[in-house]
Amino acid sequence: MPTIDDIIKKNREAFSDSEPEAGHIERFRDKLETLEPAKEGWFQRYNIVLKIAAAIVVFIGITSIIYTDSFSIMRNSLTAKFFNTKIPQELAEVMQYYNVITDKKMVQIGQLAVSEDEAKRVKEKADIELKSLDESKNELEKEYAKNPGSERILNALMLNQRKRAEILDKILTTMKQIN
């Protein structure tokens, strides 16, 4: 099998610096016109749109993971790191305990509901009430970052977590009475 060097040496005249034969450009154009143009694929046409959509999906996914109640332990640790707060281990365990209880009660609400619509509606109402407590908790954590070691703020954080469980208990009690 000849190498590329052998082919070039054998056909040196064809590779000379002289101009191509007359009509070369017209023949070349004719060949190009007979070729079917390359079709642009769907992915090539919508490349930038797909990149933007992927970025939005990733952003929404990360945001929902951080701010849903099912990942509240991770959210609490991220919030504490953000404010450079070292919450005492005992309080962190208490908050984790109440977060687990809250998650279990939300599951019970879904199980007690007569239909999926009712479960969704009740959970939305519970979320609205719990959001105000979450906002209070975030404010308390910010305050604790300013005044580390404050027993008053630590007690308020524990009370806040207890209130979450109490709100869900009231909702469960009401649902049990209705059913």
The predicted-structure confidence for 25-57, as pLDDT tens digits, reads as follows: 888 888 888 877 667 777 777 888 889 999 999
When pLDDT is cut at 50, 70 and 90, the band that residue 63 belongs to is confident
Instruction: Establish if 129 belongs to a structural domain.
Output: yes
**Which long-range CB contacts under 8 A does 154-157 form with residues at least 24 apart?**
154/88, 154/91, 157/87, 157/91, 157/95
Range from 21-35, 65-79, 163-177 carrying the lowest mean pLDDT: 65-79
pTM: predicted TM-score of the whole model, two decimal places: 0.47
When pLDDT is cut at 50, 70 and 90, the band that residue 58 belongs to is very high
Q: What is the mean pLDDT of the chain?
A: 79
Report residue 144 as tokens: 């604790």
First to last CA, the chain: 87
Within 10 angstroms of residue 164's Cβ, the number of other Cβ atoms is 23
When pLDDT is cut at 50, 70 and 90, the band that residue 78 belongs to is low
Structure confidence at residue 79 (pLDDT): 55
Q: State yes or no: pLDDT of 117 exceeds 70.
A: yes
Total domain count, the chain: 1
Instruction: Establish if 15 belongs to a structural domain.
Output: no
Exposure pattern of 22-44 as b/e (b: 16+ CB <10 Å)? Answer: eeeeeeeeeeeeeeeeeeeeeee
Supply the range of the domain harboring residue 157. 71-178
